[in-house]
């Protein structure tokens, strides 16, 4: 039985739906493997223009599945290392996916669920959503998700929430940079995600991927001559690309470019 629903609509929008509602979409080996496969496929899927990550049921994702944790408690250190590496690899596949990813967040997002949100490019949550990094309550740490959460909220906020395991409201999650936007209810959440999809679909798909790569490759790097040369090389490449030529021509001719349908 699948733990993830993967659908692509006629617009080229992929929907990844965590589908373990009875367990609040908690992570286990199966869900991690299916997410890894999905992000691997999306990275090279020419028709996909945007991705929405969401959860069925009452929660976005409650973090680690208790049965999975119970099994891991009996693994030796090597098997635990392999298990943790698979989670880290999945998060990296999501974080580095060239397609823009929207996290559509309702209900609770704990532990690994926070990691998924941190790896999304755009995160929109309902007012009643709640977040937490609760690993230390169990004698553990949010190790695999930490590089991605640190990029999203910064070390100062992480020093509080990694240590206290306290609940984080949607408003607070927005203040610390975990989510971009908070909306009143699930109807508003659906509407705002559709608005965001519309914005993404209005932009050149290759340029969107290249813009995402700019952030991934250059964030927090010192501004060296080598970095400045690389930025110049990238814009020069896009200016002479077929997509760049079409975008400039469409602007000058006051028409829609060919990627807008």
Average pLDDT for residues 89-105, to the nearest whole number? 98
Contact 148, 95 (CB under 8 A): yes
Mean pLDDT (the chain, rounded): 95
Average pLDDT on 53-70 reads 90
Residues 6+ apart with CB under 8 A from 185: 126, 127, 128
- Of 87, 75, 86, nearest to 114 (Cα)? 87
Q: What is the pLDDT of residues 207-222, one digit of tens each?
A: 999 999 999 999 989 9
SS3 sequence of the chain: CCCEEEEECCCCEEEEEECCHHHCCCECHHHHHHHHHHHHHHHCCCCCCEEEEEECCCCCECCECHHHHHHHCCCCHHHHHHHHHHHHHHHHHHHCCCCCEEEEECCEEECHHHHHHHHCCEEEEECCCEEECCHHHHCCCCCCCHHHHHHHHHHHHHHHHHHHCCCEEHHHHHHCCCCCEEECCHHHHHHHHHHHHHHHHCCCHHHHHHHHHHHHHHCCCCCCHHHHHHHHHHHHHHHCCHHHHHHHHHHHCCCCCCCCC
Compute the average pLDDT of residues 188-195.
98
Q: What is the pLDDT of residue 32?
A: 95
Count of C-beta atoms within a 10 Å radius of residue 51: 26
| CB 149, CB 196: distance < 8 Å | no
pLDDT of 72 higher than 80: no
User: What does the angle CA 78 – CA 81 – CA 85 come to, to the nearest 5 degrees?
Assistant: 145
Percent of the chain with pLDDT over 90: 89
Provide the pLDDT for residue 132.
98
* pLDDT beyond 90 at 80: no
Residue 81 pLDDT: 87
User: What percentage of the chain reaches a pLDDT higher than 70?
Assistant: 100
pLDDT beyond 90 at 185? yes
Q: Are 32 and 46 in contact (CB under 8 A)?
A: no
Give pTM, 2 decimals: 0.95
Instruction: Kindly state the average pLDDT of the residues 13-18.
Output: 98
Confidence (pLDDT) at 106: 97
For residue 74, pLDDT over 80 is answered with no
Q: What is the pLDDT of residue 140?
A: 92
pLDDT-based confidence at residue 76 (cuts at 50, 70, 90): confident
Split at pLDDT 50, 70, 90, the class of 18 is very high
Any idea which of 49-58, 77-86, 140-149, 160-169 has the lowest mean pLDDT? 77-86
User: Span 127-135, mean pLDDT?
Assistant: 97
- pLDDT band of 64, cuts 50, 70, 90: confident
HSE-CB at 212 with a 13 A cutoff on CA atoms is 23
Name the least confident of 31-35, 78-82, 236-240. Answer: 78-82
């Amino acid at each position: 039985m699948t733990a993830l629903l993967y659908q692509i609509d006629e617009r080229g929008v992929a929907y990844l739906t965590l589908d373990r509602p009875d367990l609040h979409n908690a992570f286990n080996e199966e869900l991690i493997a299916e997410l890894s496969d999905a992000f691997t496929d999306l990275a090279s899927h020419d028709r996909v223009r945007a991705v929405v990550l969401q959860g069925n049921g009452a929660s976005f994702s409650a973090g680690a599945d208790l049965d999975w944790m119970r099994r891991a408690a009996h693994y030796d250190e090597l098997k635990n290392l392999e298990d943790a590496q698979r989670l880290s690899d999945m998060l990296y596949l999501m974080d580095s996916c060239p397609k823009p990813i929207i996290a559509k967040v309702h209900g609770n997002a704990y532990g690994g669920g926070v990691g998924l949100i941190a790896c999304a490019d755009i995160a929109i949550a309902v007012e009643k959503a709640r977040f937490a990094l609760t690993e230390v309550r169990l004698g553990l740490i949010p190790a695999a998700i930490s590089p991605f959460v640190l990029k999203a909220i910064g070390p100062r906020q992480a020093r509080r929430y990694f240590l206290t395991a306290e609940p984080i409201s949607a408003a607070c999650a927005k203040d610390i940079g975990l989510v971009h936007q908070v909306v009143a209810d699930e109807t508003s959440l659906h509407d705002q995600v559709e608005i965001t999809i519309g914005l993404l679909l209005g932009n050149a798909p290759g340029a969107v991927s290249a813009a995402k790569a700019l952030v991934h490759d250059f964030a927090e790097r010192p501004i060296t001559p080598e970095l400045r040369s690389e930025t110049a090389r990238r814009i020069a490449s896009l200016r002479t690309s077929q997509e760049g030529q079409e975008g400039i021509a469409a602007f000058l001719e006051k028409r829609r470019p060919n990627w807008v349908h």
